[in-house]
């Protein structure tokens, strides 16, 4: 009888979970935009030239997946296009939102699985929590195959945002990029976003790094972006 009750409970739970899964809806969203510069972790990815980008995101319950693409220019004849693929889950515990995912940064005209290649993978763990009107968070990204020498790398970030009114919001981040057998640096950014309407937003952001000696793409800069989301 005890075994029967356990089996019945398991069956009931399966039906309940199945019903919950069926109740979930697949959501699709799209984005496209332009920017005066493509800045990633404080470093220009377009050799300080403009950017055109776009992506598609799919959501199902706490799960998500997506693809995003942009032009790039590393001052070489190699990659001209970046295409990223990502997937993960975003569970919540109380008012804490978490994000566990994997990202693949792919580049055109790559060199394959050899030193000097550009494409690489990162694992992501992030969380955020509302504090009053503001939201604060942190994230860690780990790569086992950093571009160039295929060494491991870790990026740590603390971030926050706060709405100023119905249209304006302020956000910023402080991060540290560490690379095994490579050059570490610190980066930070602060910017204001303005919602032109429900689908169109404008962002003006100041970026900087601790290592201007690495080259002009590591210098301080202001990037302006216009993004449409559907």
pLDDT, tens digit, 9 for 90 and up, residues 54-65: 999 999 999 999
CA distance 225 to 230: 17
Q: Which domain holds residue 157?
A: 25-229
Domain-located, residue 63: yes
pLDDT band at 113 (very low <50, low <70, confident <90, very high): low
Domain-located, residue 6: no
Domain-located, residue 172: yes
C-beta of residue 118 within 8 angstroms of C-beta of residue 79 = yes
Q: What is the CATH number of the domain that holds 219?
A: 2.40.160.40
Domain-located, residue 3: no
Domain-located, residue 181: yes
Domain-located, residue 18: no
pLDDT, tens digit, 9 for 90 and up, residues 143-188: 998 887 778 999 999 999 999 999 999 999 999 999 997 789 999 9
* 13 pLDDT above the threshold of 50: no
C-beta of residue 207 within 8 angstroms of C-beta of residue 223 = yes
**Can you point out the beta strands (E) in the chain?**
26-35, 39-40, 43-44, 51-60, 63-71, 81-89, 92-93, 96-107, 120-131, 134-143, 153-163, 168-179, 185-195, 200-209, 221-229
pLDDT, tens digit, 9 for 90 and up, residues 200-222: 999 999 999 999 999 999 999 99
Percent of the chain residues past pLDDT 90, beyond the cut: 77
Total domains in the chain come to 1
pLDDT in the model for residue 141: 98
Q: What would the mean pLDDT of 50-54 be, rounded to a whole number? A: 98
C-beta of residue 142 within 8 angstroms of C-beta of residue 123 = yes
Q: What would the mean pLDDT of 105-113 be, rounded to a whole number? A: 79
* 7 pLDDT above the threshold of 70: no
* 94 pLDDT above the threshold of 70: yes
Domain-located, residue 33: yes
* 111 pLDDT above the threshold of 50: yes
C-beta of residue 170 within 8 angstroms of C-beta of residue 162 = yes
* 229 pLDDT above the threshold of 80: yes
């Amino acid at each position: 009888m005890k075994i029967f009750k356990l089996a019945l409970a398991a069956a009931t739970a399966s039906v309940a979970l199945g019903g919950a899964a069926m109740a979930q809806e697949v959501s699709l969203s799209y984005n496209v935009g332009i920017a005066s510069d493509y800045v990633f972790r404080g470093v220009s990815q377009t050799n300080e030239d403009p950017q055109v980008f776009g992506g598609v995101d799919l959501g199902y319950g706490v799960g998500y997946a997506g693809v995003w693409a942009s032009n790039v220019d590393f001052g070489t004849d190699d990659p001209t296009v970046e295409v990223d693929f990502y997937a993960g889950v975003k569970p919540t515990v109380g008012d804490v939102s978490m994000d566990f995912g994997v990202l693949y940064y792919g580049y055109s005209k790559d060199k394959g699985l050899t030193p000097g290649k550009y494409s690489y993978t990162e694992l992501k763990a992030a969380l955020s929590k509302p504090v009053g009107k503001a939201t604060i968070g942190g994230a860690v990204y780990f790569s086992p195959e950093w571009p160039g020498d295929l060494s491991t790398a870790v990026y740590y970030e603390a971030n926050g945002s706060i709405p100023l009114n119905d249209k304006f919001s302020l956000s910023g981040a402080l991060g540290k990029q560490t690379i095994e057998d490579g050059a570490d640096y610190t980066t930070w950014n602060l910017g204001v976003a303005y919602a032109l309407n429900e689908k169109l937003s404008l962002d003006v952001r100041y970026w900087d790094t601790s290592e201007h000696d690495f080259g002009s793409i590591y210098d301080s800069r202001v990037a302006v972006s216009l993004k449409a989301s559907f």
